[in-house]
């Protein structure tokens, strides 16, 4: 296995004079460009958390909300990431869009979204996804896949002809960002890196970092 593969980056550049002064809008711009070039699951982000002892963990989740308040994703509050966020409510999210040779890191505190917001999003999900939220004891050990399939069939009968309510443990989380870093691959490993840091008054400071 060859682990010394190398790629030269040459798709673009990242200049202070061309970025939006607001990192949320800059992220929205880059996300839209990733959608336009048909990046596979452009809203997928690697979510890094840590428990009370500082042990790190990471996994991919899907971005389901993005506005001036922050970045929203949904999950089972009883999952490892849910427990970790109760113990240590900070997270980092990382986007990687290979066709554009771009990465974005977002760091911030994490809060839960309102029940009304979670209910509205849950109601928008495909019915099978709603049922799966009830069927899966996320991250628990199960004897086989048939257990899940049997539970799904049972839930389909239980809610036949009726709306599927949101499980009380299925909630939304919002990363309230204090730091963004936008990375654009450049030739010879002289990449562009711009960091946004939030001031106490809500404004943002932009700094260039060495690659």
Annotated catalytic sites, by residue?
Answer: 189
Following DSSP, what letter does each residue of 2-27 receive, concatenated? ---------S----TTTS-SSHHHHH
- Write phi, then psi, for 117 (nearest 5 degrees): -65, -45
Any idea how long the chain is? 211
Half-sphere exposure of 29 (CA within 13 A, CB side): 11
Tell me the C-alpha distance between 24 and 133, whole Å.
30
| Environment class of 71 (CB within 10 Å of its CB; exposed 0-12, middle 13-18, buried 19+) | buried
Tell me the C-alpha distance between 59 and 41, whole Å.
15
């Amino acid at each position: 296995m060859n682990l010394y593969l190398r790629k030269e980056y040459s798709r673009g550049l990242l200049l202070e004079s061309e970025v939006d002064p607001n990192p949320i809008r800059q992220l929205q711009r880059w996300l839209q460009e990733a959608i336009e070039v048909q990046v596979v699951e452009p809203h997928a982000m690697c979510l890094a958390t840590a428990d009370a002892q500082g042990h790190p963990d990471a996994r991919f989740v899907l971005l389901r909300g993005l506005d001036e308040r922050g970045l929203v994703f949904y999950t089972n509050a009883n999952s490892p990431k849910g427990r970790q966020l109760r113990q240590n409510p900070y997270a980092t999210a990382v986007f990687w869009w290979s066709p554009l040779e771009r990465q974005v890191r977002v760091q911030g505190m994490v809060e839960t979204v309102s029940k009304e917001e979670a209910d509205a999003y849950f109601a928008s999900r495909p019915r099978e996804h709603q049922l799966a939220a009830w069927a899966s004891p996320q991250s628990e050990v199960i004897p086989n896949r048939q257990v899940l399939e049997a539970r799904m069939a049972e839930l389909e009968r239980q809610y036949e002809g009726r709306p599927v309510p949101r499980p009380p443990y299925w909630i939304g989380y919002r990363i309230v960002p204090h730091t963004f870093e936008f990375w654009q691959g450049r030739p010879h490993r002289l990449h562009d890196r711009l960091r946004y840091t939030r001031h106490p008054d809500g404004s943002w400071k932009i700094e260039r970092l060495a690659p």
